[in-house]
A and B are shown apart, each in its own frame.
Chain A
Amino acid sequence: MTQAIVHALQDGLELTPRPFARIAERLGIDEESVLNVVRQLQTTGAIKRFGVIVRHHELGYRANAMVVWDVPDEAVHATAKQLAGDPAVTLCYRRPRRPPSWPYNLFCMIHGVDRESVQRKISTLRSTFGLQNLPYCVLFSRRRFKQRGARYVSPADAGEAHADG
């Protein structure tokens, strides 16, 4: 049942007065059960955010950069926490290095109205947190080929047809 509800939530709620009742109808259960599963997914942390998912590019934030750093392993936690706490940083993840072609282990996303404002934010971050000596790289996005919510459950696993194919 949880799987089916996750699947129903992946593409977002129908904009209708009782969106959870619509999910319940499709799954042949009652509205309260759907609400309970959603609350449970929030409690366990499976849902990290439930709300209006905006598209930053369309809202005028035309520039986004993935900024990657090569932080010594013993310093990575402290640096990551500083960066994650800064409002300019929208994501902050540690990932593995893949030497020799990829030496970076800390990944941040930074958005801005234009390239210059993103660059300004990056230099502020570097000076504020004393990161001037860390090797880093700025990867501006050039083209967006695809952007949508993740699908953890395939239509087959959810036992129903996919609404939007």
Chain B
Amino acid sequence: MASVGTNAKLRAADTSTRRPRRPAGPARKKMAKLCALDKRLLDEFQRDLPVCARPFAEIAHRLGCNEATVIGHLAWLQRQGYVSRVGAVFSPNHLGASTLAAMAIPEDRLESVATMVSSYPEVNHNYEREHAFNLWFVVTAKDAHAVADVLADVQRRTGIAVMDLPLLEAFHIDLGFPLWLT
């Protein structure tokens, strides 16, 4: 495993967390170029982030660079939207309750119903999918009762049935998302 710190060009770029050649901005169409360190941060730290007082210093140690560089690159990845956050993914139904819900919404109402569904803080994922059931969303709350309340509320406000598909069994061990960037 090559240390990224040995790359002189990379090290030069790392002295600043600001990258003038990569203008930041929302809704970028084209992907900004990722450097070797960005790719390793994305690929190798999706799980087992060190849980210690200075986690970014520990990552820097493993990658052969310094703490400020790691923080700078993660902050940039987050600003670009490549990283949603550095933190925990909780197991479904371990701390609270959650479910997957689906609705079959007439095309002309889809946009407004989707916006309404997204406005619930309990809704964390909300997608349009290619199917008669065209709106799919995940509801997460402190208990099953609170989840059911959200589904009932959506159904009452829209007059459209909400199909409740709670998790019965998880088979996947979440190892993160394989990117094959390197």
A27 on the B face (CB < 8 A): no
What would 10 A/B residue contacts be, using CB atoms closer than 8 Å? Answer: A6-B95, A17-B57, A35-B52, A46-B90, A53-B86, A66-B129, A96-B168, A102-B133, A142-B134, A146-B137
Question: How many cross-chain pairs have Cβ atoms below 8 Å apart between A and B?
Answer: 242
Write the A21-46 contact mask toward B (1 if CB under 8 angstroms, else 0). Answer: 10000000001000100110110111
Given contacts A80-B169, A139-B131, contact A16 B71 (CB under 8 A): yes
Whether B75 contacts A15 by the Cβ 8 Å rule is yes
B81 on the A face (CB < 8 A): yes
Whether A13 contacts B78 by the Cβ 8 Å rule is no
Given contacts A47-B89, A53-B89, contact A149 B124 (CB under 8 A): yes
Residue among A35, A41, A54, A98 with max Cβ neighbours from chain B (10 Å):
A54
**A155's closest neighbor in chain B, by CB?**
B121
Given contacts A89-B172, A145-B117, contact A45 B85 (CB under 8 A): no
In the bound complex, residues from chain B placing their C-beta under 8 Å from that of A137 are: 131
In the bound complex, residues from chain A placing their C-beta under 8 Å from that of B137 are: 145-146
A26 to chain B, nearest CB (A): 15
Within 8 A of A (CB), among B11-53: 31, 41-42, 45-49, 51-53
Whether B91 contacts A95 by the Cβ 8 Å rule is no
In the bound complex, residues from chain B placing their C-beta under 8 Å from that of A19 are: 55-56
A74 on the B face (CB < 8 A): no
Complex CA gap A149/B95 in Å reads: 14
In the bound complex, residues from chain B placing their C-beta under 8 Å from that of A149 are: 84-85, 87-89, 124
B179 on the A face (CB < 8 A): yes
Q: A6-B90, A46-B95 are in contact. List 8 more A-B contacts (CB 8 A).
A: A13-B85, A48-B174, A52-B74, A53-B85, A59-B181, A87-B178, A142-B127, A150-B138
| CB contact between B140 and one of A53, A94, A107, A152 (< 8 Å): that residue | A152
In the bound complex, residues from chain A placing their C-beta under 8 Å from that of B102 are: 102
**B173's closest neighbor in chain A, by CB?**
A84
In the bound complex, residues from chain B placing their C-beta under 8 Å from that of A48 are: 89-91, 174
A69 on the B face (CB < 8 A): no
Complex CA gap A98/B175 in Å reads: 30
Whether A150 contacts B87 by the Cβ 8 Å rule is no
Whether B179 contacts A47 by the Cβ 8 Å rule is no
B9 on the A face (CB < 8 A): no
Within 8 A of A (CB), among B84-133: 84-92, 94-96, 98, 100, 102, 114-115, 117-118, 121-131, 133
